[in-house]
Amino acid sequence: GAADGHDVLVATDITPRRELERQQELTVAMLTHDLKTPLTALGGVLSLLEDTETSTSAERHRLYDAGTRNVQRMLALIGDMLELHQLRRGHAQIHLQPIRPRELVQEVVRGLAPAADEAGVSLTCGRLDEGTIVADPQRLQQVVENLCSNALRYAGKGATATVDVVATADALQIAVSDNGPGIPEAIQPILFKPFQIRSVGHKPHPNSTGLGLATAKLLVEQMGGTLRLAHTGPDGTRFSITFPRA
């Protein structure tokens, strides 16, 4: 009891702590799943490669390619996790300089042309306004490539995806749009939170780590810009990156 003879009740809200614990458990579960799948496949490949008497040279080459792809998946996942960790701690290497988004967007679209052909999606540049911003060119290219790759991955065969650079009086906006089926409503509030998309039943592309958008948002914010989901619906999806004009 207190000095005056009355009991003192101290209430502590443990909801944030429980939520943090839940997120940590979810992260471990998702990471374990994402690493276990390619590791299991790699184990099967190695077992088949060991049986050299029954496998032809062409078969061994096919198995080697399959093993290499699974190793690359694991390395990509680990790399994404490390990058997100560095960004959250403010330890990422970011080198700001004046750049012209118009030229960067054209380079990204050219570089992704083979992937677009393979996906059956038409990826093109749309409106390309002139202007300069201050950002890290490699990091910004990484973000735009991630958004474009998502459009190729989810829009569906026969869809179109467009990248625009739109200038206003005081800002430049890079918009990545597609005319795919849109993003499910249940996912939209957690779109930029790592690992959570699958917790609401969404099944991403098999090679997706679920970390790309979370990393992209942090990268853009640490360069002084904003990344948001500007629109999604049955008529398609649009993400926008906005930076002040230099």
- In this predicted structure, what is the pLDDT of residue 233? 93
Alpha-carbon gap, residue 176 to 219, rounded angstroms: 17
Backbone angles phi and psi of 191, in degrees to 5: -60, -35
- In this predicted structure, what is the pLDDT of residue 59? 75
Alpha-carbon gap, residue 54 to 50, rounded angstroms: 10
Domain 97-244 CATH superfamily:
Histidine kinase-like ATPase, C-terminal domain (3.30.565.10)
Distances (CA, A) of 4 to 1, 8, 27, 219, 235: 8, 10, 48, 55, 68
For residues 194 and 107, the model is more confident at 107
Q: Where are the domains of the chain?
A: 15-89, 97-244
Locus of tokens 């997120």: 23
**Rounded average pLDDT over 156-174:** 97
- In this predicted structure, what is the pLDDT of residue 58? 78
- In this predicted structure, what is the pLDDT of residue 199? 44
The answer, as to whether pTM is greater than 0.85, is no
Looking at the domain that runs over 15-89, which CATH code has it been given? 1.10.287.130
- Taking alpha carbons only, the member of 190, 187, 197, 192 closest to residue 217 is 192
Alpha-carbon gap, residue 86 to 93, rounded angstroms: 9
Q: Hey, what amino acid is at 234? A: P
- Residue 125 pLDDT greater than 60, yes or no: yes
Alpha-carbon gap, residue 63 to 56, rounded angstroms: 11
Alpha-carbon gap, residue 57 to 60, rounded angstroms: 5
